[in-house]
Amino acid sequence: NNSAFNATKMASEYNMMTKGRGTTRHAFQVEPSGYDGFIEPSGDPMLGNNLGGFAYNYGYGPYTLAPGESVRIVIAEASAGISRDLAEQVGRGFKEDILDPNSGEYEDIEAVVNGQTLSMTKNEWVFTGRDSLFQTFERALANFNSGFEIPESPLPPSIFSVTSAGDGIQLDWQFDGNEADIQGFQIYRASGRVDSTYRLLAEVPASARELNDGDGARITDPALYELDVPIRGRDYYYYIVSVGNPNNDGTGLTPTGTSLKSNRYYSQSYDPARLLRAAGEAMEDIRVVPNPYNPNIDRSLLLDQDGRDRIAFYEIPGICTIEIYTEIGELVRTIEHDNGSGDEFWDLRTDFRQRVVSGIYIARIINKDPNDEDFGRVAIRKIVIIL
C-alpha cells in the first residue's frame, strides 16, 4: 500500500530519499574484493530473502530554491560488453561445461575471437567486455562535457522497405539528406532471429536506392555481395546505415580516421522476410516440409531457428485455400494464400490460436487461381506432427 495519504509510510520514504545513495555499491556489497571476487564469487548477489530482485534508487536533495533557481540532474546509463557471437559461444560452452572430478572445478570454456581460440572461465569471458562498458561511460561523460557538440552521424534513410519475392528479397530505401555528405550505404543481414548476429551483406554508393538479395542479382554483380544467397524457407532480417565521410574531429572522444554511421534502429526490419518461389506448375508437385514435424530434433534441420513451430507448403498455386483437418475430419485451420508465390507457412495453431497436438493431419489445398489451368482442383497431403 503506497498511498500518498499514509503519513507514516510517506515519512519513511522521504527519509529514504534524503539519504541519497549508499556509500557501497551493490556489486561491492556482494564481493568487497572487487574483480577477484567477481571472477570467483563467494557471496550471494541476492543479499537476503529478496526474491523480487533489485533496482537502483538514488535520492537527490532536498533543495531550497529561490524564485528562478533550478537544479540540473544528469544520469547516464550504458550497456556494452562482449559481442553477441562470443556471448552465444560462451553461453553454449557454459551449458555443456563438465565438472573436473580431480579439481572439483568446471573446465574452461573455449571460444574463437578474431580467428584465435582462447580458453577461460565463464566469468573471465564476461569480464573481457569490461573495457567496452567503461569506454561507453567515458564517451557519455565526454559528450556531456563538450556541451553535446560532438560530430554528428549522417542522416539515416527515411524509409526502408523489405519485400519477400520469388527472385530474391527486395530492399528499397529513401534518403532525404545530401548525397555529398555520405560515402554510401551498408546493408546488414541476420538469419533466423531478429535479435541475432547481423553481418555485412553489401556496400552500395550514395546514389543507390535498392538492392536485391537473390540469385539473379548475384549473377549480374557477384562482387557486390559479402554473403551467400538466402535459403528458401529461412527467416531473414535487415538493416541499412548511411556511411559518412571520414571524420577528423575527436571532440567528445569521437573516433577519428573512421566514418560515422547512422543509427541502425532508424532503418531496421523487424518482420521476417523469406525467399519465395513462383507459384507451383502442377498440383502433383505440392510438398509439405518438414514432414514429419518433430521440434525435438536438431533445430538446424527445421525451418524456424527461433524455436517457433512452422511447417511449409511448397509448390502451391499462387492463389489457393489450405484447409487443415484432424484425422477424424475436424477443421482446425483455414489459410487463404493470395500473394502469388508458391510458398505458404503454418504455425501449427488453430483458427483460435491454440497449438495443435501430436497426430496425423490432412491438408486440403484448393486451387483458386482463375488463370491456372488447374483452377478448382484439390490436392490432399498428410502431415505427421510429433510434439
> What is the reported pLDDT for 31?
86
Q: What is the pLDDT of residues 180-194, one digit of tens each?
A: 999 999 999 999 889
Cell output for 14? 522521504
Q: Which residue has the higher pLDDT, 220 or 359?
A: 359
Contact between 168 and 217 (Cβ < 8 Å): yes
Residue found by looking up cell 574463437 in the block: 112
3-class DSSP state for residue 178? coil
Output the average pLDDT for the chain: 89
Q: What is the pLDDT of residues 96-123, one digit of tens each?
A: 876 666 766 778 898 888 888 999 999 9
Please state the length of the chain. 387
151 contacts: CB under 8 Å, gap ≥ 6 = 247, 249, 251, 254, 260
Average pLDDT over residues 8-26: 82
pLDDT band at 304 (very low <50, low <70, confident <90, very high): low
Q: Which residue has the higher pLDDT, 168 or 322?
A: 322
344-373 as b/e: b if 16+ CB within 10 A: bbbebeeeeeeebeeeebbbebbbbbeebe
> What is the reported pLDDT for 40?
86
Measured CA distances, 292 to 148, 297, 335, 344 (Å): 58, 11, 20, 17
Measured CA distances, 198 to 19, 186, 192, 256, 264 (Å): 45, 12, 11, 24, 11
> What is the reported pLDDT for 366?
96
Say whether domain 283-385 belongs to CATH 2.60.40.4070.
yes
Q: What is the pLDDT of residues 197-210, one digit of tens each?
A: 999 999 999 999 99
pLDDT band at 216 (very low <50, low <70, confident <90, very high): confident
Average pLDDT over residues 237-246: 96
* Number of neighbours of residue 85 by Cβ within 10 angstroms: 14
Centroid of chain to Cα 227: 18
Q: What is the pLDDT of residues 28-76, one digit of tens each?
A: 888 888 888 888 888 777 776 666 666 677 788 889 999 999 999 999 9
> What is the reported pLDDT for 173?
98
State what percent of residues in the chain have pLDDT above 90: 57
Distance, in Å, from the CA atom of 328 to the CA atom of 195, rounded to the nearest integer, reads 40
332 contacts: CB under 8 Å, gap ≥ 6 = 324, 325, 326, 350, 351, 356, 361
H-type alpha helices, 241-302: none
Average pLDDT over residues 364-370: 95
> What is the reported pLDDT for 17?
82
Domain boundaries, given as residue ranges, for the chain: 1-73, 84-145, 159-266, 283-385
Distance, in Å, from the CA atom of 187 to the CA atom of 164, rounded to the nearest integer, reads 16
Average pLDDT over residues 253-257: 89
User: How many Cα atoms sit within 13 Å of 302 on the Cβ side?
Assistant: 19
Q: Is a pLDDT exceeding 70 seen at residue 300?
A: no
3-class DSSP state for residue 141? helix
Average pLDDT over residues 316-335: 96
Give the fold, CATH level 3, of 159-266.
Immunoglobulin-like (2.60.40)
Say yes or no: do domains 159-266 and 283-385 share a fold: yes
Q: Is a pLDDT exceeding 80 seen at residue 306?
A: no
Q: Is 306 exposed, middle or buried (0-12, 13-18, 19+ CB in 10 A)?
A: middle
Residue found by looking up cell 580516421 in the block: 257
> What is the reported pLDDT for 1?
63
pLDDT band at 301 (very low <50, low <70, confident <90, very high): low
